[in-house]
Amino acid sequence: MRGGAKKSTSARAGTSSGRGSASAKKSTSSSARGTATNPPGNQTPNTPDVSESEIARLKVDELRRRLRDRGVGATADMRKDDLVKALVKSLHDDSGGGSRGGSSGAGSRGGSSGGGIRTGSQTSRSLKYAQEVTSVDDEPERPGRSLVTTDHDVIRRWAEARRGVPATVDGTEHDGHAGVLRLDFPANGREERLREISWEEWFRTFDERRLNFIYQEERSDGKQSNFFRLENPDREDG
């Protein structure tokens, strides 16, 4: 009886060991499949072709150019780490990981900080005939040409070249938000009603109100022009 018990116990142990071996093989096979599905390297989740380590090796100018090409503006003051994160996010979003957006929270080209024109029921005739500018590399077709953009870098560079600062008309603020947007040129004599605000607040308001920036680089005689106008294509009063 004792010998039979031992045999029975040994048989059960053998069966258990067999199941353990099969389980181990299954686990090994699963692990191998997991390695095949999860590519090596510092790649972002759900986007195996987006390698953050490769993007981080790009130069700052190249990062800004790629972001600009993808419709992401307001990169002039961003450090390299922020530029890398913004580009990775944009690539990730385009792969289905989320809604496309730029550093300012804006959307795609044609309605945000990417330079595209915003249109609506009250789009003006002057806007229809203006040359669209989508990056700081774009040049006017001729002196005196009417231009239009929503690109943050273009607007800021244009203003700073004329010593302009972002401003709002004092007294028009409401609910803690900036009021009527303007650009002030202190070198030409500061306007009393204008109050300087940050570029961040100016552009946030600019995008929230879906404004277009209509402007000139030069007058028809070739001299620098300070002309600009902000237009809201959804309202007659802009």
pLDDT in tens, 123-168: 777 777 889 999 999 999 998 999 999 999 999 999 999 999 999 9
Over the stretch 56-110, which tens digit does the pLDDT of each residue have? Answer: 888 887 887 787 776 676 677 678 888 888 888 777 665 544 333 333 333 333 3
Structure confidence at residue 25 as a pLDDT band (50, 70, 90): very low
**Rg of the chain taking only CA atoms, in angstroms:** 29
Rounded to 10 deg, the angle between the 199-208 and 152-161 helix axes is 130
Q: What pTM was computed for the model?
A: 0.51
- 1: amino acid identity, one letter: M
The residues near 82 (Cβ < 8 Å, ≥ 6 apart) are 103
Return the closest-CA partner of residue 70 out of 45, 95, 38, 46.
Answer: 95
Contact 169, 205 (CB under 8 A): no
Give the model's pLDDT for residue 149: 94
Cβ pair 197, 208 in contact under 8 A: no
Predicted confidence (pLDDT) per residue in 28-44, tens digit: 444 444 444 444 444 44
CA distance 42 to 154: 34
